[in-house]
Amino acid sequence: MAVNSPHSPRQKMINVMYLVFIAMLALNVSVEVLDGFKTVDDSLVDSSATLKERNGLIMDELTAYNVQNPEKAGEWYKKGIQIRAMSDSIVDYIQFLKLRMVQEADGKKGNLDKIKHMDDISAASVVMLSPINGEGAKLRTSIDRYRETVISHVTDPARKAIINKNLNTESSAAPKSWEEALFEQMPLAAAITMLTKIENDIRSSEGEALTHLLNNVDEGDVRVNRLNAYLIPESDIVMQGASYNARVILAAEDTTRSPTLFVGGVALTGGEQERFSIPTSRTGTFPVEGYVEMKDDNGTVTRHPFSSNYTVIEPMASIAPTLTNVLYAGIDNEISISVPGIAPDNVQATMDNGTLTRRGNLWVARPATVGQNTAITVTAQTSDGTPRRVAVQEFRVRSLPDPTPYIAYADAEGRPATFKGGSLSKAVLMNSQGINAAIDDGILNVPFQVKSFRAVFFDSMGNAIPEVSNGDRFSDRQKEQIRRLSRGSYFYISGVHAVGPDGTEREIAVMEVRVQ
* Integer CA distances (angstroms), 207 to 9, 87, 202, 509, in order: 50, 10, 9, 106
Bridge partner list, 375: 394
Q: Please tell me the predicted confidence (pLDDT) of residue 339.
A: 81
Tell whether the model's pLDDT for residue 3 goes beyond 60: no
Between CA 316 and CA 451 the distance in angstroms is 43
Residue 231, burial from CB neighbour count under 10 angstroms (0-12, 13-18, 19+): exposed
**Higher-pLDDT residue of 24, 109:** 109
Helix axes 70-106, 136-152, angle to 10 degrees: 170
Between CA 221 and CA 206 the distance in angstroms is 25
Tell whether the model's pLDDT for residue 318 goes beyond 70: no
Instruction: Check if the beta carbon of residue 393 is closer than 8 Å to that of residue 497.
Output: no
Q: Please tell me the predicted confidence (pLDDT) of residue 424.
A: 93
Q: Please tell me the predicted confidence (pLDDT) of residue 287.
A: 84
Tell whether the model's pLDDT for residue 39 goes beyond 60: yes
pLDDT tens for 200-239 read: 999 999 999 999 988 888 665 555 566 677 667 666 666 5
CB-based contacts of 287, cutoff 8 Å, min separation 6? 307, 308, 309
Q: Please tell me the predicted confidence (pLDDT) of residue 405.
A: 96
The proportion of the chain whose per-residue pLDDT surpasses 70, expressed as a percent, equals: 81
Q: Among 151, 37, 165, 166, which residue's Cα sits nearest to residue 83?
A: 151
Q: Please tell me the predicted confidence (pLDDT) of residue 21.
A: 43
Between CA 474 and CA 453 the distance in angstroms is 9
Q: Please tell me the predicted confidence (pLDDT) of residue 322.
A: 54
**Among the ranges given (135-149, 234-248, 346-360), the one the predictor scored with the smallest mean pLDDT:** 234-248
DSSP secondary structure of 357-385: EEETTEEEEEE-STTS-EEEEEEEE-TTS
Predicted confidence band at 155 (pLDDT cuts at 50, 70, 90)? Answer: confident
Between CA 387 and CA 378 the distance in angstroms is 10
Q: Please tell me the predicted confidence (pLDDT) of residue 349.
A: 92
Between CA 199 and CA 55 the distance in angstroms is 14
β-bridge pairing 362-367 and 333-335: antiparallel
Instruction: Check if the beta carbon of residue 227 is closer than 8 Å to that of residue 250.
Output: yes
Q: Please tell me the predicted confidence (pLDDT) of residue 220.
A: 54
DSSP 3-state of 490? strand
**Among the ranges given (251-255, 354-358, 445-449, 463-467), the one the predictor scored with the smallest mean pLDDT:** 251-255
pLDDT tens for 70-89 read: 888 888 999 999 999 999 99
The stretch 279-303 carries a mean pLDDT of: 78
Mean pLDDT of the chain: 83
Q: Please tell me the predicted confidence (pLDDT) of residue 235.
A: 65
Between CA 339 and CA 347 the distance in angstroms is 7
Instruction: Check if the beta carbon of residue 204 is closer than 8 Å to that of residue 168.
Output: no
Q: Please tell me the predicted confidence (pLDDT) of residue 12.
A: 52
CB environment 44-58: b (16+ within 10 A), e (fewer) = beebbeebbebbeeb
Q: Please tell me the predicted confidence (pLDDT) of residue 18.
A: 44
Predicted confidence band at 444 (pLDDT cuts at 50, 70, 90)? Answer: confident
Phi–psi pair at 353, nearest 5 degrees: 55, 50
Residue 281, number of CB atoms within 10 A of its CB: 5
The stretch 302-315 carries a mean pLDDT of: 75
Tell whether the model's pLDDT for residue 6 goes beyond 50: no
Predicted confidence band at 284 (pLDDT cuts at 50, 70, 90)? Answer: confident
Instruction: Check if the beta carbon of residue 392 is closer than 8 Å to that of residue 377.
Output: yes
CB-based contacts of 434, cutoff 8 Å, min separation 6? 407, 450, 469, 471, 472, 473, 474
The stretch 144-157 carries a mean pLDDT of: 92
Q: How far apart are the first and last CA of the chain?
A: 140
Q: Please tell me the predicted confidence (pLDDT) of residue 35.
A: 65
Between CA 100 and CA 123 the distance in angstroms is 8
CB-based contacts of 89, cutoff 8 Å, min separation 6? none
Tell whether the model's pLDDT for residue 315 goes beyond 80: no
Q: Please tell me the predicted confidence (pLDDT) of residue 109.
A: 87
Tell whether the model's pLDDT for residue 196 goes beyond 70: yes
Tell whether the model's pLDDT for residue 289 goes beyond 90: no
The proportion of the chain whose per-residue pLDDT surpasses 90, expressed as a percent, equals: 36
The stretch 114-138 carries a mean pLDDT of: 88
Q: Please tell me the predicted confidence (pLDDT) of residue 124.
A: 87
Predicted confidence band at 7 (pLDDT cuts at 50, 70, 90)? Answer: very low
pLDDT tens for 378-403 read: 998 876 677 888 888 899 999 889 99
CB environment 412-449: b (16+ within 10 A), e (fewer) = eeeeeeebebeebeeebbeebebbbbbbeeeeeebebb
Between CA 89 and CA 46 the distance in angstroms is 19
Predicted confidence band at 20 (pLDDT cuts at 50, 70, 90)? Answer: very low
Instruction: Check if the beta carbon of residue 269 is closer than 8 Å to that of residue 371.
Output: no
Helix or strand (DSSP H, E) at 183: helix 178-183
The stretch 145-171 carries a mean pLDDT of: 90
DSSP secondary structure of 111-152: BTTB-S-TT-SSHHHHHHH-TTT-SHHHHHHHHHHHHHHHHH
**Among the ranges given (8-12, 94-98, 146-150, 421-425), the one the predictor scored with the smallest mean pLDDT:** 8-12
